[in-house]
């Protein structure tokens, strides 16, 4: 994939994730709305039946578009899941950036708290995010080729997210403390995945005690 960019400190910072080209890039507003409806339908069906039972035919029907329209944008189920994961990541980074700009944390502990809180908020409220956040959260359906590279063709999903979080820490932590590198952030993401998965298994809204332990774990490791 290409360069990722983030704006400066003035105004709203935007972190962009450069995506592989769609089969056909929407130009008109109507085409963009159809694309968003397809992704929304995919997210809804993920919640209802999981990734293994998901079909492009059902997604097109739910989105109220001809199946041919879906294939104008996507090559199949895997490219659909990749596009939804990238949309989820963009929305997460936008939410986190707004929190960082509003609250200006001084150290990595403050950054960790905001990063976990925004992720948990999306788990609670965003359709499909429980089954597919920035990658599949459950077993990989056998028909899919490479779900470890939904976000980036060369980096695994957590490594791609870690690189973007590293950029955010560099731009938004104003204190003098050590900032963790991409490898440390990737390890932190692996740990957070496991603890937060357990938190949402225990409680559909996320077990508060486990969420707090996740923050503590990441704070201590990254400090």
pTM of the model: 0.88
- Looking up tokens 């929304």, which residue turns up? 40
Per-residue tens of pLDDT for the chain, all 223 residues: 333 333 333 344 444 445 555 666 766 888 899 999 999 999 999 999 999 999 999 999 999 999 999 999 999 999 999 999 999 999 999 999 999 999 999 899 999 999 999 999 999 999 999 999 999 998 888 888 889 989 988 899 999 999 999 999 999 987 666 789 999 999 999 999 999 999 999 999 999 999 999 999 999 999 9
> How many C-beta atoms surround the C-beta of residue 76 within 10 A?
13
Per-position b or e across 28-66, b if 16+ CB within 10 A of its CB: eeeeeebbebbbbbbbebbeeebbeebebeebbebbebe
> How many C-beta atoms surround the C-beta of residue 103 within 10 A?
13
Residue 176 confidence (pLDDT): 64
CA dihedral 169, 173, 175, 177 (to 10 degrees): -10
What distance in Å separates the CA atoms of residue 222 and residue 185, rounded to the nearest whole number?
Answer: 8
User: What superfamily does domain 20-222 belong to in CATH?
Assistant: Tetracycline Repressor, domain 2 (1.10.357.10)
- Looking up tokens 């990734």, which residue turns up? 51
Residue 217 confidence (pLDDT): 98
């Amino acid at each position: 994939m290409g360069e990722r960019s983030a704006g400066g400190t003035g105004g709203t910072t935007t972190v962009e994730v450069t995506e592989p080209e769609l089969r056909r890039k929407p130009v008109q507003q109507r085409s963009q709305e159809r694309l968003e409806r397809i992704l929304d339908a995919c997210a809804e069906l993920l919640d209802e039946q999981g990734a293994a039972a998901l079909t492009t035919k059902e997604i097109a029907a739910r989105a109220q578009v001809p199946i041919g329209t879906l294939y104008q944008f996507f090559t199949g189920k895997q490219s659909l899941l990749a596009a939804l994961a990238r949309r989820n990541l963009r929305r997460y980074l936008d939410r986190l950036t707004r929190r960082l700009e509003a609250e200006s944390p001084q150290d990595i502990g403050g950054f960790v708290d905001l990063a976990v809180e925004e992720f948990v908020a999306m788990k609670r409220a965003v359709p499909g995010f429980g089954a597919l956040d920035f990658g599949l959260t459950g077993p990989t359906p056998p028909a899919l080729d490479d779900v470890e590279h939904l976000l980036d063709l060369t980096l695994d999903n957590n490594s791609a997210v870690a690189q973007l979080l590293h950029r955010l820490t560099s731009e938004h932590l104003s204190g003098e403390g050590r900032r963790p590198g991409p490898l440390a952030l990737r390890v932190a993401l692996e740990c957070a995945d496991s603890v937060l998965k357990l938190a949402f298994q225990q409680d559909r809204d996320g077990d508060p005690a486990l969420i707090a332990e996740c923050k503590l774990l990441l704070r201590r490791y990254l400090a």
